[in-house]
Amino acid sequence: MRHERIGDAKAVRIAAFGELGDAAAALGLDVGVPVLVVVGGADSMSRAEEARVNALIEALVPHLDRLGGALVDGGTATGVMRAAGDARMTAKGHFPLIGVVVDALARRPGDGARDGTNLDRGHTHFAFVPGADWGDESPWLARFAATLAGPASSATLLANGGDIAWKDAEHSIELDRRVIAAAGTGRAADELAAGRTERARALQATGLVDVVAIKRGAEAKVAAAVARALAG
């Protein structure tokens, strides 16, 4: 396991699932805290969808601080991940914001023209994991969140998203983590909330899917509902 710094953020490179506990310790993260996993849209959201997602995540920040929780996501400077970083910085949040990213696809500051995706500057920690394609991080993200939560509660918030978001939701459910589908944010979240497709019905049949409706002006109420689920 290798250590590095990404600006002010601590980072480690992980090679095996068995290193997740050591990685949390190396990053200085508390274990046994409520953990919210945020997955969903990256760079394909409409402006209206992005506005709804941003407002929801902004409303979640004070709840995470109050609960002493942590937020885990995909760590790049796109979509729901950028929204999480921006919201934490704007609100001067104190909770750890951890990005789990495929090492080979991450473009670090100073990499110049190297191919890859920029990391979000609002994240406090990064865990770089093996893989060659986006989506390879999904099982790592789900398991790292479980490692951090330990006996504490955890939940996954699905906002918008495409095929990778479905993988994220499936991995969460495999670990018995509840998935909260934010209806009104588009694409995967709306499909799962509606339950009209085979894959949506399959996940709903597990009994681990909750649906919340995102309406303009009601983001704070939805954030409070998510926080109640996270508090167990």
Note whether 11 and 128 are within 8 A (CB): yes
- Map out the domains of the chain with their CATH numbers: 2-231 (3.40.50.450)
The neighbouring-strand residues paired with 35 are 70, 154
Q: What is the pLDDT along the chain (232 residues), one digit of tens a residue?
A: 888 888 899 999 999 999 999 999 999 999 999 999 999 988 888 888 888 899 999 999 999 999 999 999 999 999 999 999 999 999 999 999 999 999 999 988 877 656 789 999 999 999 999 999 999 999 999 999 999 999 999 999 999 999 999 999 999 999 999 999 999 999 999 999 999 999 999 999 999 999 999 887 778 888 888 888 888 7
Note whether 33 and 152 are within 8 A (CB): yes
Q: Tell me the pTM.
A: 0.95
Q: Which two tokens stand for residue 221?
A: 């109420």
Q: Which two tokens stand for residue 146?
A: 């479980």
